[in-house]
Amino acid sequence: MKNSPFLSHISEYMISRHFAKRTIETYLHWIKGYIIFNDKKHPSQLSNCNVENYLSFLANQKNVSPSTQKIALNAINFLYKEILKSPLDLNLEFNKSTRQTKLPVVLTPEEVTQLIAHTDANKTLVIKLLYGSGLRLMEAIRLRVQDIDFDYCSIMVWNGKGGKHRRVTLAKELIEPLKLQIESCRSFYDNDMNLSSYSGVYLPYALAQKYPHAPKMFNWHYLFPSNRLSVDPHSKQCNRRHHIDETTVRKAVLIASRKAQINKRVNCHTLRHSFATHLLQRGTDIRTVQEQLGHSDLRTTQIYTHVIQAGANGVRSPLSDL
């Protein structure tokens, strides 16, 4: 199904409606899985019952998390509603995933210090932003030069998870390193602007239409630019300066955790978990932490209270009284 005309049609449809690249990849993954599960029959020949069986299969045999099952449902719902113009039944009956949500892995401040100390120098600033501002990985590497507000020591995060915008704290210790990073960006920018074939930086369709000159304005360029020019997958225009690849940051964190001999499962999101937990340990109001993280539901933020020094749910162990 690698060169499936049907999947290509779905991809082109989503591109024409300016869906995010990652959303397109995710939806195609689950739609392809649904088709394969049903012996490669065309979805137009399948019914609500087939959808229910597939979603139950994901919960029972694949043991996916509730959030993963929900993403699969969203993808298939999109397929029937937007592509086949035959919306699914609103009352689908399938086995919902009951897999328990994992508790977040949290580093101690000492472990964060060691992790940063063992991080490759050209990835240190990104790592410090993940921990110092509680950013998700993609939020960090998609930052643009103009998103850093030095006057108010904050960072503007645009179109985070769920398409939400928010303002997060910026550690004063990162002001000078960020200014140096912006100078480095300026060097890339000056060299690129001397190329007649340079098409500027990528902007989402709406912004590119509203600000036609923005792609070649410095402030719109990425804070962490890639070392190479690349082809825009949507417009097929060459010579754009994209941001660094997220896999390089993931690898840097993994290597640093091994070098620091941290005996925990550490990834980029661990730094966000640690940011939230350490704020709560310092007495920061949970509503403030919720806003910093960009959570819609306070219950999502409350999971970080599990490691506060007082113990689980603030309960003092009777062993401490012996």
From the candidates 240, 242, 278, 295, which is the catalytic residue? Answer: 295
161: annotated active-site residue: yes
List, for the chain, all residue ranges whose pLDDT scores fall below the cut of 70: 1-2, 101, 205, 233-238, 306-322
Separation CA 51–CA 92 (nearest Å): 8
pLDDT in tens, 91-134: 888 888 877 767 788 999 999 999 999 999 999 999 999 999 99
Separation CA 311–CA 151 (nearest Å): 38
pLDDT in tens, 69-96: 999 999 999 999 999 999 998 888 888 8
**Structure pTM?**
0.82
- Residue 274: DSSP 8-state: H
pLDDT of residue 209: 81
pLDDT of residue 307: 59
Long-range contacts formed by 278-285: CB under 8 A, 24+ apart: 278/109, 279/134, 280/304, 280/305, 280/308, 281/307, 281/308, 281/309
pLDDT of residue 10: 95
From the candidates 22, 161, 164, 172, which is the catalytic residue? Answer: 161
Separation CA 159–CA 124 (nearest Å): 24
From the candidates 32, 240, 241, 272, which is the catalytic residue? Answer: 272
216: annotated active-site residue: no
CATH no. of 5-83: 1.10.150.130
From the candidates 80, 198, 202, 304, which is the catalytic residue? Answer: 304
pLDDT of residue 322: 61
242: annotated active-site residue: no
Tokens of residue 15, six digits? 């591109």
From the candidates 136, 144, 186, 198, which is the catalytic residue? Answer: 136
What value, to the nearest 5°, has the Cα angle with vertex 26 and ends 22 and 28?
A: 120
272: annotated active-site residue: yes
Beta bridge partners of 154: 149, 169
pLDDT of residue 299: 81
Per-domain residue ranges of the chain: 5-83, 109-304
pLDDT of residue 96: 85
CATH fold of 109-304: hpI Integrase; Chain A (1.10.443)
